[in-house]
Amino acid sequence: MKRWLLTHKHRDLAEQFQAQAKAIGGDPPSTRKLKPRVQELEESLARLRAEQAERQALLECYAHVINELSIDYEQVKAERDTLLGNVRPLAGCDPSDGWPLPVDGWPGSGSASKAVAGPRVFRRSLPHPETRRR
């Protein structure tokens, strides 16, 4: 039914509707049943938005930390590469050899009969073949 028909020609229907609305006291029963569910969903939405904001802040913090660490890592790599340019191999050390052996051999192996003063110099920093786990 068109609005103008209801309000102008059928004034009795308009008055009846207004009386029913006043008797109900606000919201119709179907709306009253849904209001608690709407309230529950709005609270849930607010909670989820707060959690999302928390996660977003944490994500931004992680991104900042990762960025800082990557910058530090690049600086350390550059410093390492600069320092490696100053490294010279020790006499008697060939990294392409097999097991790491001291330049003068292992004690008691017969490869070196003289005692060496000072710290022992190893070709590579791998464990001795007799002491490694099997």
Rounded mean pLDDT of 109-114?
A: 50
Whether residue 7 has pLDDT greater than 50: yes
pLDDT for 70 equals 95
Q: What was the pLDDT predicted at 129?
A: 55
Residue 12 banded pLDDT, cuts 50, 70, 90: confident
How high is the pLDDT of residue 116? 47
The DSSP-derived string for the chain is --HHIIIII-HHHHHHHHHHHHHHTSS-HHHHHHHHHHHHHHHHHHHHHHHHHHHHHHHHHHHHHHHHHHHHHHHHHHHHHHHHTT--PPTT--TTSSS--BTT--TTSSS--S---SS--BSS-PPPTTTS--
pTM recorded for the entire structure: 0.43
How high is the pLDDT of residue 134?
47
